[in-house]
Amino acid sequence: MAKSLCVVLILVASLHDCEGALRFASYYGDHMVLQKSPESAVLWGYGPEGAQVTVTLSGPSQQKTSLVDVTNGIWRVTLDPVEAGGPYNVTAAAQSSTATLTDVLFGDIWLCGGQSNMWLQTSKIFNASEELHLAAKYPHVRTFMAALNLSETEETDLLEVELSWSVPPENVAEFSAVCWLFGRYLYETLQYPIGLVESCWGGTPVEVWSSSRALKQCELLQTYSSPKMNSVLWNAMIHPLLNMTIKGAIWYQGEANADYHQDQYNCSFPAMIDDWRMAFHQGSGGQTALDFPFGFVQLSTYIKGSKSDGFPNIRWHQTADNGFVPNRRMQKTFMAVALDLPDATSPFGTIHPRDKQDVAYRLTLGARAVAYNEKGVSFQGPFPKLILSAHDFINITYDQNVSVTPSKDVFEICCAGIETQCGPKSSWVPAPIMHWGPTTVQLSTSLCQPPYKVATLRYAWRDWPCDFKACPIYSASGILPAPPFITNRSPGKGNQEL
């Protein structure tokens, strides 16, 4: 990882070498994006103890100046709200020294976190050369990437920066594909600057990204071996960003929890979201919304033919066991379903599918609806609102019009006697699709023979449930796949009867 000189603030570890110098914190830099109005951007940095720092914003709107004191070696100022646009210069001056940021834009800041599917670089996805060629057309979508670092204590500033703020196409090839494409698609709708901040690490469970407060809520305070020790990435790669004002966050993680604290993920993931929201709100002095929008990617696929419940269970737990978001436990969230995007020939392993365009597009639909309140944007795949079981069939009524492809085995039923409960070890049999209408699907239950009866119904409850974009149930447009569900664990969006 490249290391920059102390004077440009990249290494906090070098602060002792330039103690007392006036500078911005490591997150700030030329070409950056600051959060636009109605929120206010926060600026902070280091300076001589007791000095007064004059912070000046100059650009298209009237020049603004703030005067703040340096306390414990740190100065901080909250700007007045600034409308989207730019470029601006930001200058901090104290005594005989100055520090200046140039080509600063105001827009929306999105934080992108998670593990390797969020990290997967734009240079590695399908049509990478085309995407990198297009990048130059989006100079107002700016990128920043935190370096990989661990810490046993909460850091004030990033220990290191991997990719400083840059203007496309610079650094896009090395930047998160999901994050970049999400920002690019958002820009096409919003038509104002987007700042993308990547902070992720492959192979990491949710526990390392969670504060001890969040882990305590789920009784997950015990530690384990590096680099998966509790909170170490929260401490080094998220906590230093809390002072910044952000619009929202997107997240792609969960694979590492398929075999680590899997049963607690329905607590640990929502708890992490709640805790991030509280911490960013407090860290920014109330500028980041207490309920800022949080989008995530439901797990894609890993091993074709696998009978493990790891991925299906995590997909379910990602929704706090509701099957859909937003829900009462996870408000102002949105989800991109990705189980229909397998990549059997991915050179990076099947766990890393290369189609990140559809993932990012589905996330963007959620952001437009949930974060930006755009009316008429369909962002959720079909979900059952009524399930009725008769003698030899099940009728499912969905919450929207559906596009149906006949399937013999993606729907499954568990047959049980009066005293028997269905579980992971139970015998599941296929429930083929018999008939369908605009909002309904009828399934055969002929494989559930007396004296047994249908106890539970599930859909796409496999690691790899279908081929590429070939699951049975989509929205009427064919764009949004239905998420997986299981009836005996889902409150659903309406009545269920089996």
pLDDT at 101 over 80: yes
Same domain, 312 and 351: yes
Same domain, 427 and 476: yes
How far lies 286's CA from each of 116, 169, 278, 417, in Å? 31, 34, 9, 55
Number of folded domains that form the chain: 3
Decide if 235 is inside a domain: yes
Q: Among 83, 102, 121, where does a domain finish? A: 102
Range of the domain at 428: 384-496
Contacts of 76 (CB under 8 A, 6+ apart): 42, 43, 44, 68, 243
DSSP state of 367: I
How far, in Å, CA of 287 to CA of 245, rounded?
A: 6
Contacts of 5 (CB under 8 A, 6+ apart): none
Distance linking the first and last C-alpha atoms of the chain: 57
Decide if 378 is inside a domain: no
Same domain, 218 and 69: no
DSSP 3-state assignment of 59?
Answer: coil
Q: How confident is the model at residue 489 (pLDDT cuts 50, 70, 90)?
A: very low
More confident residue, 382 or 491: 382
The per-residue pLDDT of the chain, averaged, comes to: 92
Region 132-146 average pLDDT: 98
Contacts of 471 (CB under 8 A, 6+ apart): 339, 340, 405, 410, 460, 465, 481, 482
| Res 233: pLDDT | 97
Q: How confident is the model at residue 498 (pLDDT cuts 50, 70, 90)?
A: low
DSSP-assigned letters across all residues of 205-261: -GGGGS-HHHHHHTT-----STTS-TTHHIIIIIGGGTTS--SEEEEE--GGGSSSS
Range name among 34-48, 206-220, 479-493 with the lowest pLDDT average: 479-493
pLDDT at 392 over 60: yes
Report the percentage of the chain scoring pLDDT > 90: 85
pLDDT at 19 over 80: no
How far, in Å, CA of 456 to CA of 489, rounded?
A: 9
- Residue 35: give its domain's CATH number: 2.60.40.10
| Res 495: pLDDT | 44
How far, in Å, CA of 173 to CA of 159, rounded?
A: 23
| Res 417: pLDDT | 76
| Res 491: pLDDT | 39
pLDDT at 349 over 70: yes
- Residue 327: give its domain's CATH number: 3.40.50.1110
Same domain, 308 and 186: yes
